[in-house]
Amino acid sequence: MICVAFSFQIGIEEMLSRVWDSPPRVIKFLRKHQRGSSANGLRRQKRDWVIPPINVPENSRGPFPHMLVRIRSDQDKDVGIRYSITGAGADQPPSGIYNIDPISGNMFVTQPLDREERASFHLRAHAVDMNGNQVENPIDLYIYVIDMNDNRPEFQNQVYNGSVAEGSKPGSSVMQVTATDSDDSTTANGMVRYRILSQSPHSPIPNMFTINSETGDIVTVAAGLDREKVSQYTIIVQATDMEGNLNFGLSNTATALISITDINDNPPELTVRTFSGEVPENKVNVVVTNLTVVDRDQPHSPNWNAVYRIVSGDPSGHFTIRTNPITNEGMLTVVKPVDFEFNRAFMLTVVVSNQAHLASGIQSSLQSTAGVTISVQDVNEPPVFPVNPKVIRFEEGVPAGTTLTVFAAQDPDHFIHQTVRYSKLSDPANWLKINRTNGQITTMALLDRESIYVKNNVYEATFLAFDNGSPQASGTGTLQINLIDVNDNAPVLIPREAQVCERARPNSRINITASDADAEPNIGPFVFELPSFPASVRRNWTISRLNGDYAQLRLRIPYLEASVYEIPIIVSDSGNPPLSNRSVIRVKVCPCDDNGDCSATGAVYNKYCLIFDIAVLRFKIIFFIVGMVLLFVVWMKRREKERQAKPLLIDPEDDVRDNILKYDEEGGGEEDQDYDLSQLQQPESLDHIINKPTGVRRVDERPVIAESQYPVRPSLPHPGDIGDFINDGLRAADNDPTAPPYDSLLVFDYEGSGSTAGSVSSLNSTSSGDQDYDYLNDWGPRFKKLADLYGGGDDD
């Protein structure tokens, strides 16, 4: 059976104190035993007791570990029992919160608990003997963490934004604020209540709003919201748990910003009752005046944007009023030109309103209507042609000096007497002239309908009319002359070239027609005929009429020799009187195949001219090449003769030695390339060199005696043999002590004469016997060659 010690809850603090400070309960394992009997020997099992949960307050200060209950088995007197607990909080995460003494069965909590992290635990207690055999069935232990008021209410937002229209009635919903409490919502610890702490500004009264203490809904409680006076309210809202108990509950605050939205409760008002302006005549898109307006509603909203209308004084629609989107002013603008001669002034009545309708109960202001006085300024207007463009009809070909019309303009300035003059502005063909004073137009040349300047039988010219006002004004007029065609162009034969078969065939015919630059009725039908001269034309050819515009030319005789024939044909049009033209058509007569086409023979014949031109071109190219070859041969022979006639020693200007080029020469140094070419020149006399004593001299040191001066070669070439010249120069160089032996010992660095060290040629071995060079073997591979030459090896 189970023994459980517990008490009823009297109050939260008292209950927590009793739970924590009361002695631990003893929980025994449930045992199954028989009780009672019946006549037939049957026994009834006793019902198990329900073990009440274990309550542990959160945030306990200890000390820890703190004993909660004691687990005990009835068999602990007979056998050694070992106790253990399993489940989340014991041997499962979060492990280590609860443990049990395996011998005594005392169960402990090891640390403070937090209900907001975990509100309950489910453990199982076990009892086994020393061998690990189960002695009792496991029992379930339920541990509940008792909530403490350790969390303040938290608003979802620190700042809330809401709005309500101005003029709203009391009870109008504004917004809702929400706060949550992490404590147990089933207890007073988690029950939140709301209230308004303050309102700013206090206009028109300090308490314009109220809040539902349970839901957090904010509503209006008074009338008088006016955006034009107060556009935004700031409200501090407080949330308190413990059902709003300010003594025991925890609180938090948030800010609610309430914007007062605009309604069209202020009609626009014009700043003055009468506006005035002036405008020059004949001008458009000119702002006459600006209408200023005042509206206290929210700027740049439909409740503020002004709309202007002209209700009277402008029946012809000369003016309109556009709204400036930035300033909301009305720009009275001319959209249709006004004429000073007809209207010198205008009196307009304008009305202003908003894009949005006025709010219910709001009446329009008397200041929404104003008058506008507009004065029209007279300006010098340009002369105007009454009919523009002016169209007249004339036959082409009228002679020069013919008067066509009077193209006069009128001055619209009736109140000012001014003189109008005329000039020509555009006359593409230069056919016309205009009288400067009266505008009479006459011709200066023949009018030709077929001219390139005539489009669709119409010739167009423009003229300028200007007055003598200040400033001078001018207007333009266009004259269109519709030219009537006359038969002044003879027809022209088409085509101008053709070909037929040399033997008359039914399908070997040429279709001919004509073109005429004139118009109806001075063109077709055309008449085609062959002239009577020369007689061979009518003898060999004939023309048959197909229709009014076409005819056929064909051979009259059975056979005509292949060639090119020029056949004259007379073409006449249908004008009154008709015009005729003698045209020539080139007809190529050629042999034809069965299909009536020119055969290959005929094609070769037709290409004769082209083949001839190609042959001539080829012959010209051949003659040019042969001429160039002959010219080159003659030049080479002449060059060879000049070369044989020249002496062996030539003039320095023709000396080919100056043209010798050196390619990739790697000599013995820079001085080895410094050749003295004067040694190859033949001197006038070599006695001053040959007669010198030949004593022994060193060749590695520059002599200190004066250098020999070779005679200058005369300008004229010497007639001697080049071999003798070279031998004489060689002897002179060998006997010259100042000439370094460039072809033998090379002097790479000369440091002057008189060295105190003397010559290295005087050095000699200090030993009279053989020198030992065996040490060269120790100097490495670089001296191996020397060691082999001078080393201590035996002579072969």
Query: pLDDT per residue over 326-343, tens digit each?
Result: 999 999 999 999 988 788
pLDDT attached to residue 637:
85
DSSP state of 351: E
CA 660 – CA 664 distance, rounded (Å): 13
- What confidence category does residue 36 fall into, taking pLDDT thresholds of 50, 70 and 90? very low
Q: Which range scores top for mean pLDDT: 139-143, 253-257, 655-659, 709-713?
A: 253-257
Element holding 394 (H helix, E strand): strand 390-395
CA atoms within 13 A of residue 755's CA, in its CB half-sphere: 9
Q: What is the 3-state secondary structure (H, E, C) of 407-450?
A: CCCECCCCCCCCCCEEEEEECCCCCEEECCCCCEEEECCCCCCC
What share of the chain in percent tops pLDDT 90? Answer: 35
* Of 414 and 601, the one with more pLDDT: 414
Average pLDDT, integer, range 616-640: 88
Measuring CA to CA, which residue among 483, 426, 428 is closest to residue 456? 483
DSSP state of 470: S
Average pLDDT, integer, range 70-94: 89
Average pLDDT, integer, range 467-489: 86
- For 292-315, how does the pLDDT look when each residue is reduced to its tens digit (9 = 90+)? 999 998 999 999 999 999 999 999
Is residue 412 within 8 A of residue 341, CB to CB? The reply is yes
- What confidence category does residue 48 fall into, taking pLDDT thresholds of 50, 70 and 90? very low
Q: At 319, phi and psi to the nearest 5?
A: -130, 160
- Asked whether the predicted pLDDT for residue 658 surpasses 60, the reply is no
Average pLDDT, integer, range 195-207: 93
pLDDT attached to residue 222:
92
- Asked whether the predicted pLDDT for residue 448 surpasses 60, the reply is yes
- For 212-233, how does the pLDDT look when each residue is reduced to its tens digit (9 = 90+)? 999 999 999 999 899 989 999 9
pLDDT attached to residue 125:
92
pLDDT attached to residue 363:
81
pLDDT attached to residue 742:
46
Average pLDDT, integer, range 32-44: 42
pLDDT attached to residue 765:
46
- For 599-619, how does the pLDDT look when each residue is reduced to its tens digit (9 = 90+)? 755 444 444 555 666 788 888
Q: Any idea which of 10-14, 301-305, 750-754 has the lowest mean pLDDT?
A: 10-14
Other beta carbons within 10 angstroms of residue 604's beta carbon come to: 12
CA 510 – CA 553 distance, rounded (Å): 5
Who contacts 720 (Cβ-Cβ below 8 Å, separation ≥6)? 649, 682
* Of 318 and 473, the one with more pLDDT: 318
- 412 token code pair: 């619209």
Q: What is the mean pLDDT of the chain?
A: 80
Is residue 553 within 8 A of residue 585, CB to CB? The reply is yes
- 238 token code pair: 């407080």
CA 481 – CA 460 distance, rounded (Å): 6
Average pLDDT, integer, range 103-120: 90
- Asked whether the predicted pLDDT for residue 744 surpasses 80, the reply is no
For strand 193-200 and strand 232-240, is the pairing parallel, antiparallel, or unpaired?
antiparallel
Who contacts 452 (Cβ-Cβ below 8 Å, separation ≥6)? none
pLDDT attached to residue 432:
93
- For 239-255, how does the pLDDT look when each residue is reduced to its tens digit (9 = 90+)? 999 998 989 899 999 99
pLDDT attached to residue 646:
56
- Asked whether the predicted pLDDT for residue 568 surpasses 80, the reply is yes
* Of 658 and 10, the one with more pLDDT: 658
Q: At 74, phi and psi to the nearest 5?
A: -70, -15
- What confidence category does residue 256 fall into, taking pLDDT thresholds of 50, 70 and 90? very high
- What confidence category does residue 796 fall into, taking pLDDT thresholds of 50, 70 and 90? very low
CA 407 – CA 61 distance, rounded (Å): 119
pLDDT attached to residue 39:
39
What share of the chain in percent tops pLDDT 70? Answer: 77
- For 755-776, how does the pLDDT look when each residue is reduced to its tens digit (9 = 90+)? 555 555 444 544 445 667 777 7
- Asked whether the predicted pLDDT for residue 351 surpasses 50, the reply is yes
* Of 287 and 574, the one with more pLDDT: 287
Residue 397 one-letter amino acid: G
* Domains of the chain listed by start with CATH number: 5-146 (2.60.40.60), 154-261 (2.60.40.60), 269-377 (2.60.40.60), 390-484 (2.60.40.60), 492-590 (2.60.40.60)
Measuring CA to CA, which residue among 458, 441, 461, 440 is closest to residue 449? 458
Element holding 571 (H helix, E strand): strand 563-572
pLDDT attached to residue 667:
52
pLDDT attached to residue 484:
84
pLDDT attached to residue 773:
73
pLDDT attached to residue 737:
65
- Asked whether the predicted pLDDT for residue 556 surpasses 50, the reply is yes
- For 139-161, how does the pLDDT look when each residue is reduced to its tens digit (9 = 90+)? 999 999 988 888 999 999 999 99
- Asked whether the predicted pLDDT for residue 697 surpasses 60, the reply is no
- Asked whether the predicted pLDDT for residue 8 surpasses 50, the reply is no
pLDDT attached to residue 763:
47
* Residue recorded with tokens 């020999």: 708
Average pLDDT, integer, range 553-562: 86
DSSP state of 255: E
Q: Which range scores top for mean pLDDT: 49-53, 165-169, 679-683?
A: 165-169
